[in-house]
């Protein structure tokens, strides 16, 4: 599957846009629409066009990373979009080890899955209101077309 245009726009809103690098609440250097990695350095600056290009590359990377993880699982577009957004924000490795993923693999329509999103609202042990709102939004997307 591929990310819908709708979730990409929502992710941009949730991530926000920063044309200058900064440390996110988890202490990770970040730029653009939530881009992290070894290529992000202190005092880095990019253009809006570069931020959009990086975001597109990041989405493609996460789609590729999710493909083997979700192989054989039949998902709706909303379910896929919500899982992509979550994994983009918490990282593929964290997502791969999550109870949420275990439940999705067992039964993507399990009624307890939306509540699992709310477990991912902490950065360095602090509950962040922005993550609470994002996870509520992702849970809503997950069940939207069921």
45 given a catalytic annotation: no
24 given a catalytic annotation: yes
> Using CA atoms, how far apart are residues 100 and 65, in angstroms rounded to an integer?
17
Indicate which residue of 24, 45, 63, 93 is catalytic. Answer: 24
**Cβ count near 130 (within 10 Å):** 13
Q: What is the pLDDT of residue 35?
A: 96
Indicate which residue of 9, 15, 63, 74 is catalytic. Answer: 15
Kindly report the average pLDDT of the chain as a whole number: 96
Mean pLDDT of 71-98: 97
User: pTM of this prediction?
Assistant: 0.95
Mean pLDDT of 8-19: 97
């Amino acid at each position: 599957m591929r990310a819908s245009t709708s979730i990409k726009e929502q992710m941009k809103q949730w991530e926000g846009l920063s044309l200058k690098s900064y440390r996110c609440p988890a202490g990770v250097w970040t730029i653009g629409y939530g881009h992290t990695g070894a290529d992000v350095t202190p005092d880095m600056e990019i253009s809006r066009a570069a931020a959009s290009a990086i975001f597109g590359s990041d989405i493609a990377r996460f789609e590729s990373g999710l493909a083997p993880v979700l192989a054989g699982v039949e998902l709706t577009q909303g379910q896929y979009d919500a899982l992509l957004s979550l994994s983009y924000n918490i990282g593929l490795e964290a997502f791969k080890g999550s109870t949420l993923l275990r439940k999705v693999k067992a039964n993507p329509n399990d009624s307890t899955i939306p509540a699992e999103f709310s477990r991912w609202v902490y950065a360095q042990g602090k509950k962040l209101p922005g993550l609470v709102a994002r996870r509520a939004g992702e849970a809503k997307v997950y069940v939207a077309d069921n």
